[in-house]
Amino acid sequence: MKLSKVFIYNNDRPESIEAADKFRKSVEADGIVVCHDCKDADLLVCVGGDGAFLRFVQSCNFPSQPIIGINTGHLGFFQEFTADRIGRFEEIIGTDRFTIQEIRPVCATVHHNLGVDQFLGLNEVLFRGPYSHLTHFTVSIEDTVIQEFSGDGMLVSTSAGSTAYNYSLGGALAAPELDALQLTPIAPMNTNAYRCFRSSIVYPSSMKLTLTPNNRTSRDSIEVVNDGLTSSFRNVNKIEITQSDVTINIIRLETYNYWEKLNSKLL
């Protein structure tokens, strides 16, 4: 891979700042220009953990250029390099000793009385009502009603995001190569009045999921949280969830093994 310009993003942790400075000096010594705008770069570099990676992708509006992560966080599922390997970066990238992993975000389209808003999540998109109220949704897949849901909310995750909040909710772990989305309930009600599914549903990413608030919930405020970014709406008519057409390209080294990473970090 021939590089001429890179963009470097880092969070504000001291170890991230130090690693970003080390990386900047390394690439500049090789004659590579460090850009101030991600749109101008051939390669994007994110220094931090998975949270930094998500913020970076959102702030750059889901860029098409390849992204490589340098992990200074904890889990680092998206990150591929460690700070102590920065000196080998040019050798590995310059000789094409890597592959590109393509990840397509989940897309939520919110229809409300004031218009339509759209949100992308690399990991997930979450839907919930006010903290003190139950949330009531009619859940449909491909226009077939499968559930009248009552609970704290619903989460839709990508396969890549299955190790994040989805996993904490008891959802299934899914290999990133699995072209699917996963619907996971948040604190579902199970009483004589309400009967809701308690496990996640994994379904083909080509299918459309629709959440329709009932009259009581549609009058409440509904929060949409995509990768930690929160928006709030009233008078929501419906929410349509699909797989986005956008593709995020993540650089993976030759030694990348998802199952080894999963075993070392979660299992």
Point out the annotated binding site for NAD(+). Answer: 50-51, 55, 123-124, 133, 152, 160, 163-168, 187
Q: How many C-beta atoms lie closer than 10 Å to residue 153's C-beta?
A: 22
Contact 16, 190 (CB under 8 A): no
Alpha carbons 211 and 154: distance in angstroms, whole number: 9
Helices (H), the chain: 14-29, 50-59, 89-94, 165-168, 215-219, 258-265
Helices first, then strands: H and E counts in the chain: 6, 18
Handedness of CA 254, 259, 263, 267 (dihedral sign): positive
Which residue, among 251, 233, 249, 237, has the nearest Cα to 119 in the 3D structure? 233
Look at residue 201 and give its three-state secondary structure.
strand
Contact 197, 217 (CB under 8 A): no
Place of tokens 């995020």: 248
**50 given a catalytic annotation:** yes
Annotated binding site: 50-51, 55, 123-124, 133, 152, 160, 163-168, 187
Q: 12, 30, 37, 50: which is the annotated catalytic residue?
A: 50
CA distances (Å), origin 8, targets 27, 102, 171, 181, 253: 11, 20, 33, 30, 19
Active site residues: 50
